[in-house]
Homo-oligomer: A and B are copies of this chain.
């Protein structure tokens, strides 16, 4: 990543359009995500309000990697508002395909783990990953995530085949 200028920042309202463009692109580029091929079904206005409203929350994070104005990587953490589940951060990571294999996922994950350690709230990070996505699984293991179980028929591929999906988690604090 030495030659690429990449900025990391927390998503704000003004990032909504670039974020939606990113999601549309990754939904086409990979069959490893659960999104439909059209990308995310949200309006820029609603998403902008969502980004702005979660800026002050201790258990929600949307971290962007940008190259110029373009979003090339995203790490999102969402948590349930209910007291009994608010300590669990559900992690989503995606990187634009031209930037795969350059450490961008790893950099995003390190930022997010640092953030999670600083919060009062987050005590568990969890994620699901298709069992066939060996690069992502290796990344998560490298950062301390452990396999907790495997969901049979946990997702479908584009061609309709059932896929195993791993549940992985890392305890925080």
Contacts and interface: CB of A to CB of B under 8 A. Distances in A.
Contacts of A124: 151-154
Contacts of A151: 124, 126, 148, 167, 169
B171 A152 contact: yes
Interface residues of A, number: 28
Given A36-B83, A162-B123, A167 B149 contact: yes
Interface stretch (A6-14, A84-92, A133-141): A84-92
A88 to B, nearest CB: 7
Contacts of A66: none
Majority-rule SS of A interface residues: strand
A25 interface: no
A142 interface: no
Interface string A34-67: 1110000000000000000000000000000000
